[in-house]
Structure 1
Amino acid sequence: MSGGAHRPAGIHLLADLAGIDAALLADPEAIDALLREAALAAGARILHSHFHSFGTGMGVTGVLLLAESHISIHTWPEHGFAAADIFMCGAAQPQLALEVIEDALAPASRSLKTVARGQL
């Protein structure tokens, strides 16, 4: 490779979101819709989704498969906590997806790790 820094294959965001209203974390259909909205805001192309509820008032786990990689989430309504994993390559902008998720869930706090993938 000549000159310049190697561009990463993608950006992987790992977000821990806390202090969320439990009602926002227990509905798999609403979480599916939220992640779809987030993916589209990021400029990603949705391929498939699968979400699972652990029961009434319980958490949800799910993944949105993207041409650019994925968005996944696991929620704990009883603790007001969600862990989101957003990995996108190409021109997609995972930060925009995270903004949509945070706007909807309105966490009181967050911890974010950003990893550049594909830099060997």
Structure 2
Amino acid sequence: MQALGRHILAEVYGCKFEVLNDIKKVEDIMINAALEAGAEVREFVFHKFSPQGVSGVVVISESHLAIHTWPELGYAAVDVFTCGDKVDPWDACNYLAKHFGAEYVNATEVKRGIIEQGQEERLVVNI
């Protein structure tokens, strides 16, 4: 079976407060993670919360990268969803972990849009 996309759900722990609480740093790291993985960045939007925290999304031609940070806990919830074979979401995930100064990452890959080989027009749905 073939998947339309790969979705990495990452729990990123032990990150630096000053990075996770800085909207410009988070934005730059997220955009550069997409570029590092070979994605084509289309748009991005980020929001800074009070007293701390940042949420944002980078829309790429291949899908998206999204984040929400809890700087006071050194934690970020990240998802990297890519479609096609051109972009490896793990490259983006590893870039993020490194630049957030993570001590530990727990990440899972979910295959999205599983298709039966030879029947690309029919999606397999398990209910």
In our comparison, the structure showing a higher alpha carbon Rg is 2
Work out whether 1:43 is the aligned partner of 2:18: no
What runs of 5+ residues in structure 2 fail to find an aligned partner?
Answer: 115-123
Q: What SS does the corresponding residue of 1:15 show, helix, strand or coil? A: strand
Work out whether 1:89 is the aligned partner of 2:63: no
Counterpart for residue 105 of structure 1: 100
Runs of 4+ aligned residues of structure 1 deviating over 2 Å after TM superposition are: none
Q: What SS does the corresponding residue of 1:31 show, helix, strand or coil? A: helix
Work out whether 1:66 is the aligned partner of 2:60: yes
Residue of 37, 57, 76 corresponding to 2:70: 76
Please give the per-residue CA displacement for 1:33-71, whole angstroms capped at 9, x wherever unaligned: 111111011111111000000035x00000001110000
Question: CA–CA distance in 2 between the matches of 1:14 and 1:42?
Answer: 16
Counterpart for residue 3 of structure 1: none
Q: What SS does the corresponding residue of 2:92 show, helix, strand or coil? A: helix
TM-score normalised according to structure 2 size: 0.86
TM-score normalised according to structure 1 size: 0.91
Percent of residue pairs bearing the same amino acid type: 36
Q: What SS does the corresponding residue of 1:78 show, helix, strand or coil? A: helix
Question: CA–CA distance in 1 between the matches of 2:9 and 2:24?
Answer: 22
How many correspondences in the alignment? 114
Question: CA–CA distance in 2 between the matches of 1:79 and 1:25?
Answer: 10
Q: What SS does the corresponding residue of 1:9 show, helix, strand or coil? A: strand
Please give the per-residue CA displacement for 1:57-96, whole angstroms capped at 9, x wherever unaligned: x000000011100000000011110000000011111111
CA contact (8 A) 2:9 2:108 kept: yes
RMSD (Å) for aligned C-alpha atoms? 1.0
User: Residue type of the partner of 1:64?
Assistant: V
